[in-house]
Structure 1
Amino acid sequence: MAATALIFISIGITIPVLPFFVTDTLDADESAVGLVFAAAAVSAVLCRPALGWIGDNRGRRILLRLGSVLCAAGLLGHLLASDMTSLVVARLVVGAGQAGVMVAATTLAIDLSPKGRRGEASSYLFIALQVGLGTGPAIGEGFRHFGADAVWIAATATCLLSAGFASTLPRVRRRSSNERAADGKRVNVDYGVAIRIGLLAGLGTLGFAGYLAFLPLYSSEIGVASTAGIFLLASGTIAIVRLSAAKVPDRLGARRVARASLVMLTIGFIVIAAWHSLPGLLVGTVVMAAGMSLLVPSLVLSATAGVSEGEETRRMSAFTLFLDLGAALGPAMLGIVATSGSYATAFAVCAGAAGVALVLLLRWVPARSQAG
């Protein structure tokens, strides 16, 4: 959790600064902001097959350290960026590192959790992620007074600290591929479940990714000077709900919890889109964040149901791929919609994506299913 939190603190540090760096320093528009945020997710998607293989064959701890170092290298690249091309390259490196951290951390959480408590373990891990994304922007706001360079340096140092924590993690004893072959067991990875459940997670995450990317610009439009408190409200809501309800997905079943989460996501984004003011933003943020809190942990539980040894990291690699697709499409889509229309329309699109996920969940996941 500490290693994961530090990585996402470093990502969060850049959030309140990056949109203005693109629009003011590099003199680009809102669609370019979406492109910059999307670039990290594109590289995360492209490197997924290699990450799954590294995690299953070389170890989760090595993958976690590698991801942390790559994030640090990419964030250091922000310091050297002088145009959109160099910034996009730096974001591609960050995306590869962030993907490595996500795949390794989620699989380690499953490895280290007792049977029947995987949903709880995933909830705790994603608390770390949201705490990072919530506290990071507040830190970034503070460093922003010293200039963008100070922000990039602080984010880089945080990633390197995460790599140090990753080095202290235990080695999980895995049977080698030769040992499994000696038993006559060949691993055939079932990607179908991971793809279907991952698509639901990606649709739910799409809106949240866009919310993170464009909250600073939207808040400025409605007269809110600082977004640190709003980021903290979102991450705090997610952390509190996940901490207090960590055992709920294991007890009630993934389908029931995911259904409630998607309903709240839809309502939260509708409120933000329709109530164009600070009160509307605050109310919508709380409802949306409450929905986001248990969506991914419950879907992780569903995606890992019946997973076999040697398949774990690759199954999670396929599942988390859709989280990155959501992170890529969210800012890119909202950037286009915001440029041609309005932020209200963009957040209405987020509500629509969550609604589609709800319909697909009811069709794909049987009501009798508890783990999935």
Structure 2
Amino acid sequence: MNNSKLWTKDFIIFTFASFFLNFIFFLLLATITVYSMDVFNASESKAGLIAGIFSVGMVVSRIFIGKYMDWFGRKRLLYSGLILFLIASLMYLFVKSLTFLIIVRLIHGVGFGISTLIMTTVVLDTLPKERRGEGAAYFNSSATIATAIGPFLGIFLLQYTEHKSLFILLSIVAIVSVLISLFARIPKTEITKEQLEEMKGIRLKQFFEGKALPISIVAGLIAVAYSGVISFLTPYAIEIKLTTAASIFFIILAMSSFISRFFTGRLFDTKGENVVMYPAILLFSSGILILSQSHHGFVLLMAGSLIGIGFGTIFFCSQVIALKKSPPHRVGLAIATFLTFIQGAYGIGPFLLGYLISVVNYRGMYITLAILSLFCIFLYYSLHGKESTKRIQTSNEYSKNV
């Protein structure tokens, strides 16, 4: 993947492997609370803990692996993460208590965090620089498709089959993801003595890449707003009597996001990030505002399409910006920093928004999130967009002089 060719064997393998891992993640995200309440009579708070403990394992593993990724070796860590993920997937078949389920979820989160971080880092780090935005758009579309298919199939299986069928399916998918990953080539990374010395000791900058923080903050706030869509769409749809439209909301969202990747990624590479990011944030904010005012199924689905285009574009663009801003030997740490902010937002967002709903109801929450998203336009401009504009102007002036 070091030339201009994009769809190499390794790129295709990791795109499919990423889809399978995210498919399992979103399938369980939509079903594990119902499973724990039905089988173990868990309270809503305990069911929430069981769902959320996965993210704890994922975030913690990414913080530490981001620092030591190239020290231990990407290939070794990827296979370790995949094996851990596979073992945890199989362990669901033998769960007999809530305590054991919590342990399995934690291990599963660690395996997922390691595997997806290494895959993402290897893919983005080895994409042709002139096609990095386009490649990131296609690669991340695998996770976007998984957000639609995973929950849909998981809920379907819970309705018409036993819980065991659900866990047998995810075990088979986990095995497939491990097997196909064995055929991918993972380039070795060279570490200088200076870089090795930099890794020693315990300092904050060793766990977070400072140059990736600004764009990660923007993406994290957007992810908080997106978590409100994921977590509370169903009860909101019940309240406004649009459950039929809500049943295909995420499919429309995923399709819109996927289709937009065919031109937004290329636009990012040819025209720069600002040309893509400003409209994407505006579309995302508009989608949430429309969602807050939905009284008809068509309007709800239109909101889903705008949210899908906006969030999908913001996610892959921000990820590439974090990569571009960081030194080559801290690429893994930059991706880990970015994903930590995103996953942290997914974890803390629903918790905070639950309190907000009790004060301003669902429509009020979505109006608040639309305003928060709109504010991110100004935040993006201050933290990155202004600098990017100056850089492009300087480059254009240089080209004219030459």
TM-score band (shorter)? 0.7 to 0.9
Q: Contact (CA 8 Å) 1:127, 1:238: kept in 2 or not?
A: yes
Q: Which moved more, 1:258-267 or 1:203-212?
A: 203-212
Distance 1:64 1:139, change over 3 A: farther
**Equivalent in the alignment of 1:4:** 18
Which of 125, 130, 134 is the equivalent residue of 2:148?
134
Relative to structure 2, which stretch is displaced further, 130-139 or 362-371?
362-371
Q: Which residue of 2 aligns with 1:202?
A: 220
Equivalent residue runs for 1:1-372 within 5 Å = 1-22=15-36, 24-27=38-41, 34-81=48-95, 85-144=99-158, 145-175=160-190, 177=191, 180-181=192-193, 191-221=209-239, 222=241, 224=243, 229-338=248-357, 342-369=361-388
- Give distance in 2, aligned partners of 1:101 and 1:182: 27
CA distance in 2, matches of 1:22, 1:345: 31
Q: One-letter code of the match for 1:198? A: S
Contact 1:67 1:100 in 2 (8 A): yes
CA distance in 2, matches of 1:74, 1:184: 33
CA deviation string 1:264-311 (max 9, x = no partner): 221111222222553332121111111012102211221122533321
Does the CA contact (< 8 Å) of 1:15 and 1:213 recur in 2?
A: no
- How far did 1:339 drift? 5.9
Aligned residue type for 2:286: I
Q: Is the 8 A contact 1:68 1:163 kept in 2?
A: yes
| Distance (whole Å) between structure 1 residues aligned to residue 198 and residue 64 of structure 2 | 19
For 2:121 and 2:42, how far apart are their aligned partners in 1? 38
Do the aligned residues in 2 keep the contact of 1:68 with 1:160 (CA within 8 Å)? Answer: no
User: Is 1:34–1:213's contact at 8 Å kept on the other side of the alignment?
Assistant: no
The answer to whether the 8 A contact 1:30-1:338 is kept is: no
What is the CA–CA distance in structure 2 between the aligned matches of 1:369 and 1:311, rounded to whole Å?
21
| Cα contact 1:37–1:213 (8 A) shared by 2 | no
Instruction: Answer 1 or 2: higher relative contact order, Cα 8 Å, separation at least 6.
Output: 1
Q: What RMSD, in angstroms, separates the aligned Cα atoms of the two structures?
A: 3.1
Cα gap change, 1:186/1:35 in structure 2, threshold over 3 Å: closer, same or farther? closer
Mapped contact 2:290–2:299 kept (Cα < 8 A): yes
Q: Which amino acid aligns with 1:107?
A: T
Q: Quote the Cα distance in structure 1 between the aligned partners of 2:58 and 2:69.
A: 15
> How many residues matched?
369
Q: CA deviation at 1:162?
A: 1.0
Cα 1:155/1:335, change in 2 over 3 Å: farther
Identity among equivalent pairs (%): 20
Task: Give, in angstroms, the shift of residue 241 of structure 1.
Answer: 0.7
Give SS of 2:326's match. coil
Indicate if the aligned counterparts of 2:122 and 2:186 stay in contact, CA closer than 8 A: no
Amino acid at match of 1:204: I
In the TM superposition, residue 158 of structure 1 has moved relative to its aligned partner by 1.2
Q: 1:256–1:54: structure 2 CA closer, same or farther, 3 Å change rule?
A: same
SS in 2 for 1:342: helix
Q: More helix by proportion, 1 or 2?
A: 2
Please give the secondary structure, in 2, of the residue aligned with 1:312.
helix
Match of 2:11 in 1: none
- Report if aligned partners of 1:15, 1:212 keep a CA contact under 8 Å in 2: no
User: Deviation of residue 51 (structure 1)?
Assistant: 1.3
The runs of 5 or more residues in structure 2 that have no matched partner are 1-14, 200-204, 393-402
Deviation for aligned residue 1:100: 1.5
Cα deviation, residue 33, structure 1: 5.5
Cα distance, 1:12 vs. partner? 2.3
Give the residue type in structure 2 aligned to 1:234: L
CA contact (8 A) 2:63 2:340 kept: no
Contact 1:61 1:166 (8 Å CA) reproduced: no
| Partners of 1:34 and 1:335 within 8 A in 2 | no
Could you tell me how far apart the structure 1 residues matched to 2:366 and 2:318 are? 23
Are the equivalent residues in 1 in contact too, given 2:212–2:334 (CA < 8 A)? yes
The gaps in structure 1 that reach 5 residues or longer are: none
Residues 181-204 of structure 1: CA deviation (Å, up to 9, x unaligned): 299996887822212211111111
Corresponding residue of 2:4: none
**CA 1:185–1:67 in 2, change beyond 3 Å: closer, same or farther?**
closer
